[in-house]
Structure 1
Amino acid sequence: MIRHLPAAIVLAISLTACSDTPSESKLEQLLQQQFDSQYDALINIEQLKKINGWQESEYQYVAEVSYTIKFQTSFKAYMDEQTAKPGNPLEKMAKGISAGMLKLQYGDFKAGDEYQVKQQTLSLRNAENGWLLQQ
C-alpha cells in the first residue's frame, strides 16, 4: 500500500531543492579558480563574504561579495617567471599585459601584500556539474 506524502512535506522538499544557492566556500573556490587560470597562482583569495545574492532565473544566480586578495609573489618576480617560461611569445605577452593591469590597479605589489575588494558582483550559471562563474 503506497501512502501519499502530506502536502506540507512535499512543499518543504521542493523549496529546499529550489534554494540551491552557492555557498561562500563555493564562491571563493570559483573565484580562486578564475584568478589561477588568469594569473598562474599569483593571487590567493581569502576571507570571502557574501554580502547579498539573488536568483536571476532557474539557472542563473548573482552574488555580491567582498574578499581579500593576497599576492604570492611580487610583480617583478611574477613577470620574470612568465618571461622565462618556454612557449608562445604571444601568450607570454598576453600574460604580461594582464599582470600589468594588476600593477595599474594595485601598484608595485610585493609578495604578501593584501588588498580588500569591498564589493564585486559575480554572475553564476548552474550547469550539469554545479555552479560556474560566468566571465
Structure 2
Amino acid sequence: MTRVRDSGEDLSSDEGLSTIEVVVLAPVLMLFILVLVGFGLLVDARGAIDGAARDAARAGSLQRDETSAMGQARAAADADLGSTCSGPVSVRQMSAGFQAGRLFTVEVSCQVRGLAMLGLNIGTQLTGRSTAPLDPYRRAS
C-alpha cells in the first residue's frame, strides 16, 4: 500500500534527519576521542620523563665521583624512557660540583610524538628536572 501525499500536507517532515545527524556527528566524535587519547599519551610521557629525572638524580647521587654519577644518571634515564621517546634522551647536570652534603640536580629531556596517531607528526620536547642529596658520609674514591 502506497501513501499519496496530500497537497495540503506539511513538507517539513523530520523523517531521516537523525540518520543525517549520526553520519555527520560520528566522525567528529571519533576525532574528538582520538585527540583526547593523543593528549593522554602526552600526559603519560610527561609523567615518565619526571620519573626518569627522579631516578637519574637518585642513581647519580649514590656514586662516588661526578663522572660515574653522570654515567649512572644517563643509564637510569635511558632505561626508564626506552619506548617513550622518539629520539635520544638528553641528561644534563644542573648542579655545580659534587661535594658531599650538596645537592645533585639533573635535567632529562627528550622528544615525544604523542599526536602521531592522528597524522600530526609534531614533535614535542618534554623536560623533567629532579634533585637528590649527596650522602654527606660517603667515602670519596
TM-score of the aligned structures, taking structure 2 as reference length: 0.33
Q: Which has the higher strand share?
A: 1
Larger Rg: 2
